[in-house]
Structure 1
Amino acid sequence: MAEVSVNTRAHCKLLLHAAKYPHRAVNGLLLAEDPKSKESRKVKILDCIPLFHITLGLAPILEVALTQIDTYCKSCGLVIAGYYQANSHYSDIKPDHVAAVIGKKLHEYFSDAVLFMVDNSKMSSEKDGDLCRLYYLKDTHWALADKKYMVEEGAVSIGASLMRSEASRSLVDYDNHMDNITMDWRNTEINSLIEKCT
């Protein structure tokens, strides 16, 4: 299994997406630095793209989103390296059918693709960087990793600060973009806000 690290931008946007819709399941994509070598066993997650909060696995809209996000990634030297999901039930942190299927599809294109399942009980923690449980594809199913992913220093406290300031209200997911195409699913405003905090 590859070594996985998450930078401040990705950590904070994932956190804000789950916080914006605490009563709903949400999902998104994890974008990583395109490895220079196929033998690289490091996945450096640099950003995330919040996808949905209404219907997580609606195939036609998901296909449109994946095509658009893949084009964006190629222009930035990134790859879609994983998937995240927060389930609607507070204590449910296991991958469901939607997470498993989307994760496997991503794995076909990026062999070290990972699956993050948000632990809702850690949403308000300012001390714990383990907001998600890390899964990897083992044979044909997603298995819980025995090691944790690394979070960039300062990311947890910046995420907590953004939560207190209710920055989640400004976060745009792909559902929001489909309702109003002027809304930017890349979240450039949130990205700038996170950069000011670092």
Structure 2
Amino acid sequence: MTSYTVAEPAYLKIFFHAAKHPHKPVNGVLLGTKSGSAVIIEDAVPLLHHWTSLSPMMEIGLDLAAQYAESVDMKLVGYYQASDRLDDTSLVPVGEKVAGKIRAGFSDAVAFVIDGEKLGTDEAALIPYVPTPSSSWRPYAGEPAPFSPNSTFKLASSDLPRRAVILVRDEHRHQKFGDFDDHLEDVSIDWLRNKACLPTPS
């Protein structure tokens, strides 16, 4: 069975994207590598916060993200989204389409929907979605539950959710974060790397 580990840069960027646009739907793609049956989700590239459809801007952003992933010896391994409502944790049809496109190039692709009600807590604010034989996507229902001990879904460090909250609340790191939408308005915003928002390694 394939396992998935979400590394610090990926989790923080997903969190910052949702925190910067709390009342808008946001989405992006996940970059990573696979070794044996283990997928390491190493990074995230944020796409849009104005999206409601599979627009030309989404397609361009996806292509650029895929090119960037290749340039750093990674590939697109998944998709993430957040709704504009805290209690909405469904993977929208557009999200299913994008996740399906990613899966066409990486058979173990996964999708995450941000759980708005867990964003400010010590728990991983991610709900994994996996493909079904009919090519639709459903929340992962295996045991143990995602991000619990011995789960096939894990965080690289268990304190990541708490650290993400501190970085937003105390250091306002999400204000240094930009997605493809932001880049289209200000080309100086480095939406592919977003290094400015990440804490420097100690």
TM-score if structure 1 supplies the norm length? Answer: 0.90
Q: Which runs of 5+ in 2 are unaligned?
A: 147-152
1:51-130 paired onto structure 2 within 5 Å: 51-125=47-121, 127-128=122-123, 130=124
2:162 maps to which residue? 157
Q: Does the 8 Å contact 1:29/1:49 carry over to 2?
A: yes
SS at match of 2:137: strand
Deviation string 1:4-35 (CA, Å, 9 cap, x unpaired) is 110111111100100101111100101112x3
CA root-mean-square deviation:
1.4
CA contact (8 A) 1:27 1:56 kept: no
Aligned to 1:187: 194
Higher relative contact order (CA 8 A, sep 6+): 1
Superposed CA offset, 1:26-75 (max 9, x none): 00101112x35xxx322100000111101243421122112211111111
Q: Residue type matched to 1:77 in 2?
A: D
Cα distance in 1 for residues equivalent to 2:173 and 2:32: 23
Contact 1:7–1:155 (CA<8 Å) still a contact in 2?
no
Contact 1:115/1:135, CA 8 A, preserved across alignment: yes
Aligned to 2:42: 46
8 A Cα contact 2:54 2:94, kept in partner: no
1:133 aligns to what? Answer: 127
Structure 1 position 184, deviation (Å)? 0.6
Tell whether the 8 Å contact from 2:16 to 2:177 is kept in structure 1 after alignment: yes
> What's the offset of the Cα at 1:94?
0.9
Cα deviations by residue, 1:100-146 (Å, 9 ceiling, x for unpaired): 11111111010000010100001111x21x21110111112112112
Distance 1:97 1:63 in 2: 15
Q: Once superposed, which parts of structure 1, at least 4 consecutive aligned residues long, lie more than 3 Å away?
A: none
- Structure having the larger proportion of residues in helix: 1
Code of the residue aligned with 1:180 in structure 2: it is: D
The AA in structure 2 aligned to 1:8 is E
What pairs with 1:137-148 in structure 2 (closer than 5 Å)?
A: 137-139=131-133, 140-145=135-140, 146=142, 147-148=145-146
* Contact kept? 2:115, 2:126, Cα under 8 Å: yes
Kept in 2: contact 1:80–1:110 (CA 8 A):
yes
Q: Which runs of 5+ in 1 are unaligned?
A: none
Give the superposition deviation at 1:157.
2.6
